[in-house]
Structure 1
């Protein structure tokens, strides 16, 4: 699965690893619901670490459609409210 991290590029991530990100996604949703910027930043940082650790960077000259788009680690609560909208699945489906 191709994952785009806003401001950081794309990563090719094995589907099994994407599933593992759901636990962090749950923490992210809880932080947004609680309007807790510190917890949001912690969750986003953990999410980015997992993507970088388990993903292969996609070369800049390689054209690949992103199947999942994640915010950068500096996203604000307002950014997350906009990205999540009315979603009940968080950033990562499943």
Structure 2
């Protein structure tokens, strides 16, 4: 799957990593619903760090369609709330 982190670029991510990412996504959703700004910030960074760690960066000139778009590390709680679907940032 091709994942884009807004403002950073794309990575190719194996499906085998989605269980771990889904746990972080669930935590992020709970923190957002509870208005926990520090928890939200910490978990968003953990989620993006995991994508960077597990993913293989694509060249900057690659024009692959992104199957998943994640917010930038600087995104606010309100900005991410607008991106969320019913299942969080990462659909199950």
> TM range, normalised to the smaller chain?
over 0.9
Q: Secondary structure at the match of 2:61?
A: coil
Give the match's secondary structure for 1:81. helix
Q: Tell me which residue corresponds to 2:89.
A: 91
Report deviation, 1:59. Answer: 0.3
Q: How does 1:19-30 map to 2 (within 5 A)?
A: 19-30=19-30
Question: 2:18 aligns to what?
Answer: 18
Secondary structure at 1:21 match in 2: helix
Helix, strand or coil for the counterpart of 1:42? Answer: helix
Aligned-pair Cα RMSD in Å: 0.9
CA distance in 2, matches of 1:65, 1:19: 22
TM-score with structure 1 setting the length: 0.92
Structure 2 Cα separation of the partners of residues 19 and 38 of structure 1: 24
- Which runs of 4 or more aligned residues in structure 1 lie more than 4 Å from their structure 2 counterparts after TM superposition? none
1:46 partnered with 2:46:
yes
CA offset at residue 18 of structure 1?
Answer: 2.4
